[in-house]
Amino acid sequence: MTNWCDHCERAEEADVCSICGADLVPEEAGPMPWRWKFFFVATAIYLVFRLYQLIVWLTH
């Protein structure tokens, strides 16, 4: 995984820039925000509900 140093404007393979010593680990490398988990769960429940409605509609 290649990181990018904004100070030196160069790619760096390590987590720390070898030129200026800046921390290059991107912020989005952290755990998934709970809002996204809630969004995916809500979407899954909605799709299951719509699928259930479709099956009921098809079998009647």
The residue ranges that bind Zn ion (CB under 5 A) are 5, 7-8, 17, 19-20, 22
Q: Which is nearer to Zn ion, 20 or 51 (CB)?
A: 20
Least separation, in Å, of the C-beta of 15 and Zn ion?
A: 12
Least separation, in Å, of the C-beta of 11 and Zn ion?
A: 10
Q: Please give the Cα distance from 5 to 16 (Å, whole number).
A: 9
Least separation, in Å, of the C-beta of 30 and Zn ion?
A: 22
The 3 state secondary structure assigned to 8-54 is CCEEECCCECCCCCCECCCHHHCCCCHHHHHHHHHHHHHHHHHHHHH
The residue at minimum Cβ distance from Zn ion is: 17
